[in-house]
Amino acid sequence: MGFRLPNGATLQIASAYGAAIPVTALSNANPTVATAAAHGLPDGDIIAVTSGWTRLNDRAARVDNSLSGTFELEKINTVNVQPYPAGSGAGSVREVTAFVEIPQIADVATSGGDQQFTTFGFLADDDDRQLPTSKNTRTPASLMPIRSRSTPPGLTRPVRSLVISARR
């Protein structure tokens, strides 16, 4: 997977969060609808999601169609009940209140995604066999010049995901 950053784009990571807002339900819909009493989140806010659904847990999302007791997670599709079992997605969200720019990015790439195998052999076989099992985690990797080795202010743990925003 690759992507291009337009001229003037910056890479930023969340550095401060608001208080946790309890989410009592997440719908199996496209887009996902979160139920949270008096959440106060306006459209366009970036939030960090904590959910009982492992594919959604610890992900960033953008708020859309915010109403007094519900809001949508823009472009998040949870229709498939296999990875998103009905009734088990409740958790919480936190508004991202500040970002820190990751300066002097020279290139953006990903790493991981390698196929893993299990090896086995039958007693009657001369050769072992392999079956594909899962894939390594694919993560963003940024190539920075040597002069920018320091950790940006506010960054206290490893980067799991980057929030990309174009600013001119």
Q: Is the pLDDT score of 84 beyond 70?
A: yes
What one-character DSSP code corresponds to residue 124?
T
Mean pLDDT of 149-159: 44
Are 60 and 161 in contact by the 8 Å Cβ rule? The answer is: yes
Predicted local distance difference test score (pLDDT) of residue 4: 65
Predicted local distance difference test score (pLDDT) of residue 146: 36
Predicted local distance difference test score (pLDDT) of residue 109: 72
CA-to-CA dists, residue 144 to 80, 155, 163, angstroms: 38, 16, 17
Hey, which CATH number is domain 12-101, 2.40.30.180, 3.40.50.1360, 3.40.720.10, 3.90.1310.10? 2.40.30.180
Per-residue pLDDT band for 5 (boundaries 50, 70, 90) equals low
Cα separation, 89 vs 72, whole angstroms: 14
**Any idea which residue has 């506010």 for tokens?**
154
**3-state class (DSSP) for residue 19:** coil
Predicted local distance difference test score (pLDDT) of residue 158: 41
Q: Is the pLDDT score of 69 beyond 90?
A: yes
Chain centre distance of CA 104: 23
Cα separation, 44 vs 24, whole angstroms: 21
Nearest of 138, 164, 143 to residue 1 by alpha carbon = 138
Select, from the ranges 4-13, 48-57, 126-135, the one with the highest average predicted confidence (pLDDT). Answer: 48-57
The pLDDT mean for the chain works out to 81
Mean pLDDT of 84-90: 95
Radius of gyration for the alpha carbons in the chain, expressed in angstroms and rounded: 20
Sign of the dihedral defined by the CA atoms of residues 163, 8, 101, 11, in that order: positive
Cite the residue boundaries of each domain of the chain with CATH code 2.40.30.180.
12-101
Mean pLDDT of 117-145: 76
Percent of the chain with pLDDT over 70: 77
